[in-house]
A and B are shown apart, each in its own frame.
Chain A
Amino acid sequence: MKKGGYLALSLAVATVVLIVIGCVWPVAAAKPFIIKKSLITSSSTPEEAVQNLGQDIEAHDWQKAYESFANKNQFTEQEFELDLTGYTTNLRTYSMLDHFSIWPLHASENKADIRLELDWATVVGTDVDTRNLEVVRSGDHWNVVWPFTKQSTVPPQVIPVNYLRWDVIYRGAGDDWGAQDVDAPRVRIVDMHPVQRADGVLVMGELLNDDVVPAYVSVTATLQAKDKSPIATEGSFDEISHVLLPKQVTPFLIQFPDAQLSEVDSINMKPFAILVPASADPVIEIDNQKFNPAPNASLSGQLVNQSGQVVNVAHVIGTLYDKTGQLVWVADQYVDSALLPQTPVAFNIPIPEDIAKNVSSERTVVATFSFGGAL
């Protein structure tokens, strides 16, 4: 055999070996694209029934999942699918089920309670959806009673919106170098507090738009050693409400993984603001906002969209203070369902137990995004 023949043969063998390795041990990114076959097909135990349901949801096999329910006469297959993915476009619409876990809670001869935790991979991180399922025996197999959540709907109507909007005309490319341009908004940091946590240093604070125009904001912090040399520089990324209307305040959180506060002499904070077109709507009310102390400390409440515009993604950022008014924690959560007009949507942000004991008051802001709309 010639040299070229050996090369072709070795390439073919290597390709086959790589394909086999990829199929047997796929990388995480490839998992959603693999057509999965259920490992368990029988439902002879409650755990197997829920395991099968989880696998069907993971494979987007809505029909098979729906057929396995004991209460399918209460809702349609499409309603079941929308119960998981959302009736209106939201964070969950474009997510994939990354993995699921089950915990048996209680079991008797004909009935069992099992908790199913669905971990959805979204563009802003993992979104955990926990459902407590009732599983009932039907002959020699078990069926899940799906806890269907009836989605509230808004009746067809016209909601007049007398909204405010800012548009910006910047200096043109053809203008003289000395021509006047619009200035960036004035913003200032009104509060800042660094803390040491097990996984590094956190710098928390609050930023105020001190101007009369809307601002797109972010904050960068640089930790400096005693000799003024920089230790690390990080930005607030999405742990901030980026669009600030005049006199609006947002909390921010900057994480420095693996940093030690004992090595830090000073922190150089740099707020950044640019002028952007923006709308004053939608107005979101945060209702029944409550700090729930330990155990399972959390900041909970309900978001109520007071405008007519549907909010597809809402980001809740909570600021917690001690009894002296000192900022002690900033926590956030993306709400996984759309905010329809005048329809409350609950949120619950977990708070670390050691922080919770110092919390005396709280403040919450909401950043919103609507598909097809401007800022």
Chain B
Amino acid sequence: MKLVLTFLLGSLILAVIQTAHAQDESLSVPQSVEAGSAFSIQDAGSGEGTLYIVGPGQALRRTVQLGTSVYFPAGSICNAGRYVVILAQAGGTMNRSFDVTPVMAPASLSFLAKPSRLPVGLHDGITGAVYVFDVYHNLIATPTLISFELSSPSGAVQKQLVSTRAGAAWTEMDSTTEEGKSKFVARAGDVSSTSIIRQVPGDPCDLKIGAQPSGGELDLQTAPVRDCSGNPVPDGTIVTFTETYPGGQSTVDVPIKRDIAEVKMPAHDGATITAASGVVLGNQIRWGK
């Protein structure tokens, strides 16, 4: 009895699978469709049914007259990916699948430029990575030529052409010897994205101080503070003045204003005055006897 029942059930399943296969062959879908473009699906059967199209982040449902072509106008499906087509009718269901591919023309770029700020004269210090998207924000996985351009404040341009791989392209560039804001542009066809990279002066180079008597005090002042490429060190950079004299010491952290750091300190005979900025030491002067 058990054997008979198993045989009957197995035969029934095989029959249903065979029927489904036969019906699948009558459902005609395109192999691939470009996102946003019009397409049609055809069924060779008769009667009425319901057509479902299910894909990434999107599902469509249509009541269809079997045996006719079902037309989907442009913009019906926008998200790239694999879609499943299911036709439900009185005799059962049938399904097929097709791919929706991104539009080939780039419409937007996601451009990651790092860092936002770096010292001048750094080899491979700037990195840029680009992801290319179509008008529907689908990642374009097919190779696309990207142009990276880094313009220094003086107008000099570094340019590199890189082809995307799996939708992304990246590059490395040197910071220039000139401080200022540089424009870093990534371009694919007519589409571009711009980031600003601030190239900042390096450590102060050849820090020099001078002293002038001013009443009972000393007027201490640095020469214009510049880095080793000749760029002025930014205002606000701290210069530490230290005055050492018999029996004591005076120190003060002074921010650079308009290229120089300036401070008044007590005048002590025999004092030694030094200046430092970060780990850079300046000259040393002696005051009085």
Chain A residues with CB under 8 Å of chain B are 162, 164, 166, 176-178, 180-183, 190, 208-214, 245-249, 280-281, 283-290, 301, 306, 362-365
Contacts and interface: CB of A to CB of B under 8 A. Distances in A.
A289 B252 CA distance: 11
Contacts of B263: 283, 285, 306
B195 interface: yes
A249 B278 contact: yes
B255 A180 contact: no
B120 to A, nearest CB: 11
A281 B114 CA distance: 31
B265 A285 contact: yes
Contact of B251 (A164, A280, A286, A306): A286
B110 A285 contact: no
B32 to A, nearest CB: 28
B214 interface: no
B266 interface: yes
A290 B244 CA distance: 10
Nearest to A365: B253
Contacts of B279: 190, 208
Nearest to B203: A247
Interface of B: 110-117, 131, 195-196, 200-201, 203-204, 234-240, 247-255, 257, 263-266, 277-279
A180 B111 CA distance: 8
A286 B250 contact: yes
Given A249-B278, A285-B263, A180 B238 contact: no
B238 A248 contact: yes
A288 B251 CA distance: 9
A212 B248 contact: no
A283 B249 contact: no
Contacts of B131: 178
Nearest to B280: A247
Interface of A is mostly: loop
Contacts of A249: 240, 278
Given A164-B257, A213-B117, A306 B252 contact: yes
A210 B111 CA distance: 27
Interface of B is mostly: strand
Contacts of B250: 285-289
A257 B184 CA distance: 50
B151 to A, nearest CB: 16
B252 A285 contact: yes
A246 B237 contact: yes
A364 B278 contact: no
B113 A289 contact: no
A289 B251 contact: yes
Given A249-B278, A285-B263, A164 B117 contact: no
B107 to A, nearest CB: 14
Contact of B249 (A164, A289, A306): A289
Contact of A214 (B112, B117, B204, B236): B236
A286 B266 CA distance: 11
Given A248-B238, A285-B263, A178 B112 contact: yes
Contact of B248 (A209, A290, A306): A290
Given A180-B196, A246-B236, 11 more contacts: A180-B112, A211-B117, A247-B277, A280-B255, A283-B263, A286-B251, A287-B266, A288-B248, A306-B263, A362-B249, A365-B253
Contacts of B117: 182-183, 211-213
Contacts of B201: 212
Contacts of B203: 247
Contacts of A246: 234, 236-238
A236 to B, nearest CB: 19
Contact of A212 (B234, B253, B257): B234
A289 B248 contact: yes
Contacts of B113: 180
Nearest to A287: B250
Contacts of B236: 164, 166, 212, 214, 245-246, 280
B116 A181 contact: yes
9 contacts: A178-B111, A180-B116, A180-B196, A183-B114, A183-B116, A183-B117, A208-B278, A288-B248, A289-B249
Contacts of A176: 110
Nearest to B266: A287
A248 B116 contact: no
Contacts of B195: 180
A287 B114 CA distance: 43
A288 B263 CA distance: 16
A306 B265 CA distance: 10
A219 B201 CA distance: 26
A214 B255 CA distance: 11
B249 A290 contact: yes
A65 B48 CA distance: 103
Given A213-B117, A246-B237, A365-B253, A290 B110 contact: no
B173 to A, nearest CB: 15
B153 to A, nearest CB: 16
Given A178-B111, A245-B238, A210 B278 contact: yes
